[in-house]
Structure 1
């Protein structure tokens, strides 16, 4: 009996033993990328543009004095403007970029050390004495007129005699000047254009107001501003700003010019209001929509 019981126990023990587990290779589920196509949403873009122009018009009409502007994005081709061809707007210190560009266009060997120092102070610090010196070296109004003709600035007139600050222009011509500095023309070499735009990027902080309000965090800004009292026009001010704002998906050229402002601060506030609105809503003007790829592409 003992032997039989031991045999039963042995059999029971053998029956309870588990078979060895053999690992089985299991493939992870494969994620199939969804094929979609992007298309410009022309209708939504047109509606966004109409809303922006309406809001800009309302904003400008509620501000004092005259306010005109022009914008062009080199990446998307978007253009905006109100009074863009009004060509009697005083540039004040905005003409300092013109002076440097004209001087460089008429030189084959570039600037000497003294002129380079004058140019740096004229653009980055808006030094009027430096502008006086380089205006004379550029050839005064006659030479400036010739330069404007070469680069296609037909709505810009140089100030009389030695008064470079009396140069008048339009927002559209400020955009044209920026395009020349970016793409070339009028005898300006790549090094010349890099110099001018580089100085415009280094404008000292207290003068970097204006169209810079259109910039997003991380965007690069190159600009030049102008401001001057107009004692013979009811003691008002002319305040202007134009420049380039570059960042991901954007290369925005913008010019906002004001006149008959009750003060410099009011003009700056108006310019930044226009710039901020354009900068914040620019992407909405070129929206896209997505559609799934066709199952059987047509060949």
Structure 2
């Protein structure tokens, strides 16, 4: 599917090619050979770093495309990274940054969100509404987005130009900085602002409850934002960021991918990685209490320029 530059960032109708997601045919060869991932992990819990490194590597074995992973767990002081600085088109994942920018700017001006802003924010996060995102992106402007990124220490994130918020360039390191900011008391966002973002991320519509929550135990609250975008080069970008808190656990996962042959192929890669991470970080959770994501994953289709 091609997109004309005049479309800018307005929402496109979801047509069969974009909205009906066809699973990869069993046994089909991947689009390109996967490069063996080099996962780096550290942990304050004996043996956990080695286990995570082994299991994440195994989950990605043979998968096509380029995958970046970042995991942080406060409870065990654990961290894992893969392709920490590799840059990706953000697709809808940037919507969390847009909302954080709105709240950061409101704090600077000592005001609450208006009813309109709250309605747009809710649609943007829970439904991944593109029109709502465009309205807030245009209201804020790139200068304010850059101001928030600087305040948040997200130094490697580059806002999309020309109104194409879905082409913001991101990496897993900065996405984890954002998740950490949302789950830690700080001077950039107020406690109420952080709670507001997390509440919306915990209430995304069922068809978008896929990705990093796959395999999470029922004892944690799942906060997630996903995104996908197809372009003529490097195939489908499919991403998921999530924060998981409760039941004695407090951790976050970011997985960014491109070079996928279909959206579902990218979803399957993200969920394979996420399942082993949840299992290793929460081994005491019974198998029956693990979250199974939707079997019909959907996302808003982000308008982008041709190419």
- Would you say the 8 A contact 1:201–1:222 is kept in 2? yes
1:99 equivalent in alignment to 2:101: no
Alignment TM-score, normalising by the size of structure 1: 0.76
- Would you say the 8 A contact 1:76–1:250 is kept in 2? no
- Would you say the 8 A contact 1:214–1:245 is kept in 2? no
Post-superposition CA distance 1:32-78 (Å, at most 9, x none): xxxxxxxxxx9995544224312322332411100110000122211
Which is greater in Rg?
Answer: 1
Gaps of 5+ in 2: 1-41, 284-307
Post-superposition CA distance 1:230-270 (Å, at most 9, x none): 12x05x10000001111322111100010111010000000
The equivalent of 2:266 in structure 1 is: 267
Change in CA separation of 1:186 and 1:239 when aligned onto 2, cut-off 3 Å: farther
Pairs within 5 Å for 1:194-209: 194-209=195-210
| 3-state DSSP of counterpart to 2:183 | helix
- As a proportion of its length, which structure holds more helix? 1
In 2, the alpha carbon distance for the partners of 1:51 and 1:180 equals 27
Change in CA separation of 1:45 and 1:194 when aligned onto 2, cut-off 3 Å: closer
The equivalent of 1:277 in structure 2 is: 276
**How large is the RMSD of aligned CA atoms in angstroms?**
2.1
- Would you say the 8 A contact 2:43–2:77 is kept in 1? no
The equivalent of 1:31 in structure 2 is: none
Change in CA separation of 1:43 and 1:257 when aligned onto 2, cut-off 3 Å: closer
In 1, the alpha carbon distance for the partners of 2:43 and 2:271 equals 29
Change in CA separation of 1:267 and 1:155 when aligned onto 2, cut-off 3 Å: same
The equivalent of 1:162 in structure 2 is: 163
CA shift, 1:142, in A, is: 2.2
The equivalent of 2:182 in structure 1 is: 181
In 2, the alpha carbon distance for the partners of 1:76 and 1:48 equals 9
Alignment TM-score, normalising by the size of structure 2: 0.74
In 1, the alpha carbon distance for the partners of 2:236 and 2:186 equals 33
Pairs within 5 Å for 1:1-299: 45-86=45-86, 88-107=87-106, 108-139=110-141, 141-185=142-186, 187-231=188-232, 233=233, 236-283=235-282
Change in CA separation of 1:71 and 1:91 when aligned onto 2, cut-off 3 Å: same
The runs of at least 4 aligned residues of structure 1 exceeding 4 Å deviation read 42-46
In 1, the alpha carbon distance for the partners of 2:282 and 2:119 equals 39
